[in-house]
Structure 1
Amino acid sequence: MRTALSIIVPAFNEAARIGPTLTALQAALPSIVPAWEIRVVDDGSTDDTGAVVEAAAAAAGDTRIVLQREPHRGKGGAVRAGMLASRGDLRFLCDADLSMPVTELPRFLAQVPATCDIAIGSREGEGARRVGEPGLRHAMGRVFNTLVRRLVLQGIEDTQCGFKMFTGAAADAVFSRITLDGWAFDIETLVVAQRLGLRVVEMPIEWHYRDRSQVSPVRDSLLMARDVLRIRARAARGRYDVPRDRAATEARSR
């Protein structure tokens, strides 16, 4: 049976949160899509993330929960590995903390591929709802997005939301080209998608802030700013350029 939907969950030291996320996804998916898999990409965790995933799959007797172990490279590296290993007709990037209610998922399925190749969750714009986010964190995010829009990627209000759906063909075309392993991989993903001529839409969602002790706002913001400059330099050198006729054929009929 073909897999209609692959859900890719990058996870680094998420032993405390990955169990409830898997439980929520398992409960919801049967009524949403007929054939699915959940692929947890363990990004070289040093805690029991992998063991929790294996235990959840064994307890449910469900082979559709897949653990993919990878060396630690960063979220971008984990997402890239998971997307390219998946065979779903549609592929959904899902943060391990499930900060978006799973009830939002059918809205993505209604858009891809009917109206677009890629639908990205957005915490900005009309209809979006942020719950519990500290004001300073939101302000820092808006400053960063302004930098992104001015330097490399116009027209996208929220590049960093961890919920994005791709057609299988779009995922293969995009993730075979991105190289960044860190947090800025989302930006490179969308830059490549634009250069490929793919249709990208933003989906306003409800999003709940979860404290992420792994994230250092100052350090990671500086690293992301550095990577934005790398993307800009690569774009200026034509690293992301693909002839439009070839790009459209490759990304939509692969």
Structure 2
Amino acid sequence: MSDFVSGHPASSIVIPAYNESARIDATLREVVDCIRSGGWNAEVIVVNDGSTDTTARQVLDFSITAPEVRLLENPGNHGKGYSVRHGLLQARGEIVMFTDADLSAPIREAERLFDAINNGAEIAIGSRWLDRSRQIHRQPVYRQFFGRCFNLITRMVMGLHFADTQCGFKAFTRRAAQTVFQLQTIEGWGFDPEILFIAGKRHLRTVEVPVTWRHDERTHVSYLRDGVHMLREMAIIRWNALLGRYNGPVRPVEWPTV
């Protein structure tokens, strides 16, 4: 087992969390076990998005014996996009990534994203659809249908030619993350197409990586409810692009203090 190395870790794993008390302990155990058994020099940042349950307290309790883990608090409930941006802009790793709290993509699959970054990509996004044989537990048919429809719309409206824009498993070089997330404006579930759109506008090399994936029935995403919001957010992204909001300067990359 490797010890967490103080200073600047090689990688940062950001986990957005809202009312995750039922599974956050198991998630953190799995992530920390993977870090230690794999000898990763990594930090884990849990971003609490105004949870009304015991999520924050559980993370703090867990961090007592796991110095790899730290907690960031949002000022209230702002959404997954806000949480991911907050975490990645505060991350200290040379490679930074985010993953969903349900670990639908097992955390060991992060090595596939890291390998893509180390081989020249600036952004590596996990994909459920490039290799369907890697899906351990597939979504219900109706969710697959809505997911594919949404992907088709993103291709047509956003010009994003990826098989899977919504997989919550993405990694970035530190410079790419600082560039993309400083320009991000969408704070809800529709932030994924925006950050990929920004990456294209800023000419950041983005590759799609097939990952093992299992559907979790406890997912917070509703394709009917959240799908309507995402469509509205895509219109906002196109409007932002027309106004040139993704072309502006970004601040130099700085190392956050803890």
Structure 1 portions without partners, runs of 5+: none
1:51, CA displacement in angstroms?
Answer: 1.2
User: Which among 21, 27, 35 is matched to residue 21 of structure 1?
Assistant: 27
Structure 1 residues 232-251: aligned runs within 5 Å: 232-241=238-247
CA contact (8 A) 2:160 2:196 kept: no
Distance 1:33 1:232, change over 3 A: farther
User: Which among 223, 233, 236 is matched to residue 217 of structure 1?
Assistant: 223
What residue in structure 1 maps to residue 52 of structure 2? 46
What residue in structure 2 maps to residue 9 of structure 1? 15
Structure 1 residues 3-152: aligned runs within 5 Å: 3-58=9-64, 61-70=65-74, 71-126=76-131, 129-130=134-135, 131-152=137-158
What residue in structure 2 maps to residue 227 of structure 1? 233
| Distance of 2:210 and 2:133 partners within structure 1 | 4
CA contact (8 A) 2:160 2:197 kept: no
Structure 2 portions without partners, runs of 5+: 1-6, 254-258
1:31, CA displacement in angstroms?
Answer: 3.5
The one-letter code sitting in structure 2 at the alignment partner of 1:238 is G
CA contact (8 A) 2:158 2:238 kept: yes
| Distance of 2:40 and 2:232 partners within structure 1 | 42
| Distance of 1:213 and 1:178 partners within structure 2 | 24
SS in 1 for 2:29: helix
SS in 1 for 2:213: strand
CA contact (8 A) 1:40 1:66 kept: yes
Query: What RMSD over aligned residues (CA atoms) do the two structures have, in Å?
Result: 1.8
Q: TM-score when scaled to structure 2?
A: 0.89
The one-letter code sitting in structure 2 at the alignment partner of 1:133 is Q
CA contact (8 A) 2:16 2:83 kept: yes
CA contact (8 A) 1:39 1:65 kept: yes
Distance 1:140 1:169, change over 3 A: same
- The answer to whether the aligner puts 1:179 opposite 2:161 as a matched pair is no
1:236, CA displacement in angstroms?
Answer: 2.4
Identity among equivalent positions (%) equals 39
| Distance of 1:153 and 1:94 partners within structure 2 | 24
What residue in structure 2 maps to residue 162 of structure 1? 168
